[in-house]
Structure formats: C-alpha cells, structure tokens
Copies of this chain bind each other. A is one copy, B any other.
Amino acid sequence: MLVIRHFEEELIALHAEGHARGHFHVCIGQEATAVIALSFAGPGDYLFTTHRNHGHLLARGAEPGRLYAEIMGRRDGYNGGKGGTLHTVYPAGGFHHTSSIVGGIIPIAAGTAYAARARNTGALSVCLFGDGALEEGAAPEALNIASLWKLPVLFLCENNGKYGPGAASGAEQSRTMAAYPLTDLPRAYKIPAIQVDGTDAAEVFRAASEAVAKIRRGEGPQFIEAQTVRWPGNESNWPVAPIATRLPLAWDPGPVPERQREWYRSCDPVLLFARELVARNVASREELARIEEEVLAQIDEAAKFAIASPLPDPAEALRDVFAPMERA
C-alpha cells in the first residue's frame, strides 16, 4: 500500500514537472482493495484493470521504475511506451490487457474465465473496475453470460463514488445509477454479491478469500463491491496532491483543512492500516517510519530510472500491429 501511495504522489509531481503527458488517474484511497484482494490470485490467473490501474499492477509486483517509464512513454516501460498510463499491460503479473474504455474489460474477463474452464486449468479471472462501469451495457450483458455459464470470475467493483469525506454513507442514492446499492444488479442476474468497506484491509481480506474459494470450488461468478470515499485530491479530472502522505500523519495530521483531516481520520486506507498495525503491536511507529523511508528511496530511484530511460525509436511505431502467422 505504501508503495502505491508514494508511487502515485510522486507521479503527480512528475506529471506537473512535464515528465508525462495526457490525462491519468491515481489509486490513492483505494490501495487496500487492490493489495489485499489480488493477494488471492495465483500465477496462472487472469487479471484485468482499467484507466485506474497503477495500484493494481504494483500490487502484483510490477516494478515502479518500469511502470513510471511506461507512463512517461519511455523505452523501458512495460510496453515500450505503446500503451501508456491508460493501457499498461503486465503479463508477468497476470495483466494481459488493460482497457481505458469504461466497461471494456468486463466481457473480456468473462472470456478468459471461459477459456480457463474449457482448458481445465483451474485458473480464474479477476476483473477490477469502477462503479461507473456498471452503467455501460457491456457490464449487465457480461454479468448475464457469466452467471448463465457459471464462469470462474471475480467481479471486483471499486466504488469510489461516495463523494468526499463526510458524505453520509450507507444506502445513499447515486445520480447515475438506479440499481443502488450496486449489488442489486449482479443479484438480479443471480450472482452472489457483497459490499465491503474498501478501506478496511481485514474486511477486504475476508470477502476476497471467501469469494475466491467459492469460485475455485466451481460455484460460478462472485461479485464484491469495495466502497471507498473519493480522495480529496481526485475530484477534478487532474489529480492534485493536497499534501504528501507520511505515516506520522496517522497520529498527528498537523494543521490541515477539516476535509483533509476527516479523510485522514476515517477514509485513508494507508493511515488506517498503519494505526491498526501499531495498535495491535505488529509494528512500532519507528519501524513503520523506517519502512516508509525505504519506500520513498525506492520510488525516488524508480523515478530517476524512468527519467533516464531513453525515448523509443520512432521506427518502433510501425511494429507490433500484427503477430507473425503461427505455423501449425
């Protein structure tokens, strides 16, 4: 989680300095879901993510330096600069295709699950998407097929739609989704669905481990809605980091605006987890501070690596349009 947080915060800075272009999306506030839920995926499983993918890839072991390089369009990026922030693909971590089209991956994840079952590999698909994806017709179409064919796929919806810290939680309305709570939709298609607090690592752990076990037992698709509050820096289209995260903020937020303070107190999964670790005596504040130093150093090095990575050769643009023909 800490790697993701510092990766994203540094990215905002790098972007502001002109090292990357285009629009991009950060996972701040959603770290717990990715890290915990993806820990249950095995090496042969198929994972899919969206425009908001950095945290998911990092949770599966992507190197921060190569990920930065991709986001900056450099030669050492995971896709040599062809994909970019919106489409980074990292097969070693199970990510074979990343779509920036809202809802685009949902049918595809059902497809890899279909193949895994047909080939009897025991693999499953994990499909990570935002609450908005359920508004696209691709989602109900794919939920229907996954349910009918009992496909081994975990639909993991990161609902960051709770606008801003302090908004009433619970069964509030959505202005863009009548099927609310969102779990009503998969349930209509007879897919078991639960809601969890996406900032609570323990809750995510229980829900994900149970869902994955059910899928591996052949019980068909499962749906988890992980709820998080929208991070204050992510309310415009261009994320702006209000203050850089440091773990000591978990205990002393310092002189910050009330919104930010409330976010630290009850929504920030990184700080919540840190407090939990200390409260349970798993780690001391000093140990955590030391770990954070290491992470910051790692991120710093990653950024340097990416900045130093050369731009790709323009001739590369014409390669990889088609795979050479397979000869039987």
Residues of A within 8 A of B (CB): 135-141, 143-144, 147-148, 175-179, 184-185, 187-191
Contact = CB atoms under 8 A, between A and B. Distances in A.
Contact of A188 (B139, B144, B175, B187): B187
Contacts of A147: 178
Contacts of A139: 137
20 contacts: A135-B141, A135-B144, A136-B137, A136-B141, A137-B137, A137-B138, A137-B139, A137-B140, A137-B141, A140-B140, A143-B178, A147-B178, A148-B175, A148-B176, A178-B189, A179-B188, A184-B188, A185-B188, A187-B188, A188-B188
A191 B179 CA distance: 10
Instruction: Tell me how many chains of this kind the complex includes.
Output: 2
A24 B144 CA distance: 28
A135 B184 CA distance: 17
Given A185-B188, A188-B188, 11 more contacts: A135-B144, A137-B141, A140-B185, A143-B178, A144-B178, A148-B176, A178-B189, A178-B190, A178-B191, A179-B188, A184-B188
B144 A179 contact: yes
Nearest to A176: B148
Nearest to A149: B178
Contacts of A140: 137, 140, 185
A61 B181 CA distance: 44
Given A136-B137, A137-B136, A137-B138, A144 B177 contact: yes
A175 to B, nearest CB: 7
A189 B176 CA distance: 11
A198 B277 CA distance: 62
Contacts of A177: 144, 148
A88 to B, nearest CB: 27
A18 B144 CA distance: 40
Nearest to A182: B188
A80 B41 CA distance: 60
A129 to B, nearest CB: 15
A190 B140 CA distance: 16
A188 B140 CA distance: 11
Nearest to A174: B148
A158 B61 CA distance: 51
Nearest to A177: B144
B190 A179 contact: yes
Contacts of A137: 136-141
Contacts of A148: 175-178
Contacts of A185: 140, 188
Contacts of A143: 178
A139 B143 CA distance: 14
Top 9 A-B residue pairs of the complex, sorted by shortest distance between their CB atoms: A137-B137, A188-B188, A147-B178, A140-B140, A178-B189, A184-B188, A137-B141, A179-B188, A178-B190
Nearest to A138: B137
Nearest to A180: B190
Contacts of A191: 178
A177 B190 CA distance: 10
